[in-house]
Amino acid sequence: MTQVANYFDQMPGNCIVTLQINVATQQIKQRAVMIGHKLNDYVILEFGRDADWRVLLSCLTESTAVIIRAVLPCGDVIAASCSYLSMTHYPRKLVFLNFPKEFEKRHLRANPRVNVELPAALTFTELSEHFPQPIASLITDLSEQGLGLQTREPITVPKEELLGKTVELAVQHNQQRDHAVLECEIRNRQLISPELTQFGLKVVRSHGKPYESLIDIWVSETLHNKAVAL
Residue 115, amino acid? N
**DSSP at 41:** T
* pLDDT value of position 200: 92
Whole-number pLDDT of residue 3? 45
Ordered DSSP codes for 67-129: EEEEE-TTSEEEEEEE-EEEEE-SSS-EEEEEPPSEEEEEE--SS--EEEEEEEEEE-TT-TT
Kindly state whether residues 148 and 181 are assigned to the same domain. Answer: yes
Task: Give me the torsion for CA of 115, 121, 126, 129, rounded to 10°.
Answer: 130
> Is residue 91 located within the same domain as residue 133?
no
- 230 is a domain residue: no
pLDDT at residue 178 in the model: 53
Of the three residues 107, 136, 154, the one that is the final residue of a domain is: 107
Q: Are 11 and 105 in contact (CB under 8 A)?
A: no
Residue 66 resides in a domain? yes
133 and 82 housed in the same domain: no
> Can you give the residue range of the structural domain that contains 151?
114-220
Return averaged pLDDT per consecutive 10 residues of the chain, 230 residues in all.
64 82 84 89 88 86 90 77 90 91 70 76 90 91 84 90 92 61 90 86 76 55 38
1 Cβ contact list (under 8 Å, min separation 6)? 102, 103, 104
> 227 in a domain, yes or no?
no
Last residue of a domain, one of 107, 141, 175: 107
